[in-house]
């Protein structure tokens, strides 16, 4: 009898592992999501300090309880226009793996929507568009109420190494002018 209860518990654990929670937000007219385990907090947009000679997608830094946190405009990071700041614009603080450590990075989004539970069975792999379009940012495509939500891979979108490389190239280009 005890083994049967353990098996039921194991089944419940497996089912819980298959359903993940995602924080959804909008950029323009599209819905994106990141896993809630990487989200530390959501704050109101403001009190940004601009840093000279940074790529366009780096908005600046904020002071978050004494820590300097870089803030990235996710729309600009994706090669779109910079996010237009409105009343609903937020900064989502995300914990990003960087080697053996983790770093907090803020991302500017148009508006935060909700936390959704998306079963693994409702997540499709990232589509293949060809070699010239980057899909490594996309973890998958979640199906919610008949629509797709783009699930982002925060480790790739906010890769500290790649952002550092882009920032140094941008800084060199600006100083050469």
Pick the more confident residue, 159 or 149. 149
| Residue-level pLDDT at 139 | 87
Residue 9 resides in a domain: no
Residue 63 resides in a domain: yes
| Residue-level pLDDT at 97 | 80
With DSSP H G I counted as helix, E B as strand and the rest as coil, what are the percentages for the chain, rounded to 5? 25, 45, 30
SS3 of 81-118: CCCCCCCCCEEEEEEEEECCEEEEEEEEECEEEEEEEE
Residue 140 resides in a domain: yes
- Whether residue 11 is predicted with pLDDT greater than 80 in this model: the reply is no
Query: Which of 88, 87, 53, 47 has its CA nearest to residue 71?
Result: 47
- Whether residue 2 is predicted with pLDDT greater than 80 in this model: the reply is no
Residue 65 belongs to domain with CATH number: 2.40.50.180
Residue 6 resides in a domain: no
Query: Over the stretch 115-142, which tens digit does the pLDDT of each residue have?
Result: 999 999 999 888 776 554 567 788 899 9
- Whether residue 12 is predicted with pLDDT greater than 80 in this model: the reply is no
In the DSSP assignment, the letter for residue 159 is: -
Number of domains in the chain: 1
Rounded Cα distance, 39 and 42, in Å: 8
Residue 95 resides in a domain: yes
| Residue-level pLDDT at 117 | 94
What average pLDDT does the chain have? 80
- Dihedral sign (CA 156, 143, 83, 127): positive
Residue 2 resides in a domain: no
Query: Over the stretch 50-68, which tens digit does the pLDDT of each residue have?
Result: 989 888 889 999 999 999 9
- Whether residue 4 is predicted with pLDDT greater than 50 in this model: the reply is no
> From edge to edge, which strands make up the β-sheet containing 111-119?
111-119, 19-27, 30-35, 147-152, 138-144, 123-124
Residue 11 resides in a domain: no
Residue 130 resides in a domain: yes
| Least confident among 40-49, 64-73, 96-105, 160-169 | 160-169
| Domain encompassing residue 141 | 21-176
Phi, psi of 85 (to 5 degrees): -75, 125
Pick the more confident residue, 157 or 103. 103
Query: Which of 136, 142, 135, 165 has its CA nearest to residue 33?
Result: 142
Query: Over the stretch 144-157, which tens digit does the pLDDT of each residue have?
Result: 888 899 999 888 87
| Residue-level pLDDT at 128 | 72
């Amino acid at each position: 009898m005890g083994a049967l209860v353990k098996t039921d518990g194991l089944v419940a654990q497996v089912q819980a592992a298959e359903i993940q929670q995602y924080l959804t937000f909008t950029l323009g007219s599209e819905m994106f999501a990141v896993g809630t385990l990487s989200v530390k907090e959501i704050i109101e947009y403001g009190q940004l300090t601009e840093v000279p000679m940074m790529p366009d997608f780096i908005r600046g830094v904020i002071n978050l309880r004494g820590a300097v946190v870089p803030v990235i405009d996710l729309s600009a990071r994706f090669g779109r226009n910079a996010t237009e700041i409105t009343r609903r614009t937020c900064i989502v603080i995300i914990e990003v793996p960087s080697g053996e450590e983790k770093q907090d990075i803020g991302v500017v989004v148009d508006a935060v929507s909700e936390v959704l539970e998306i079963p693994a069975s409702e997540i499709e792999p990232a589509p293949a568009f060809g070699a010239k379009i980057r899909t490594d940012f996309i973890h998958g495509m979640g199906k919610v109420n008949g629509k797709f939500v783009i699930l982002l891979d925060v480790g790739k979108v906010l890769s500290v190494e790649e952002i550092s490389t882009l920032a140094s190239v941008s800084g060199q280009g600006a100083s050469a002018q």
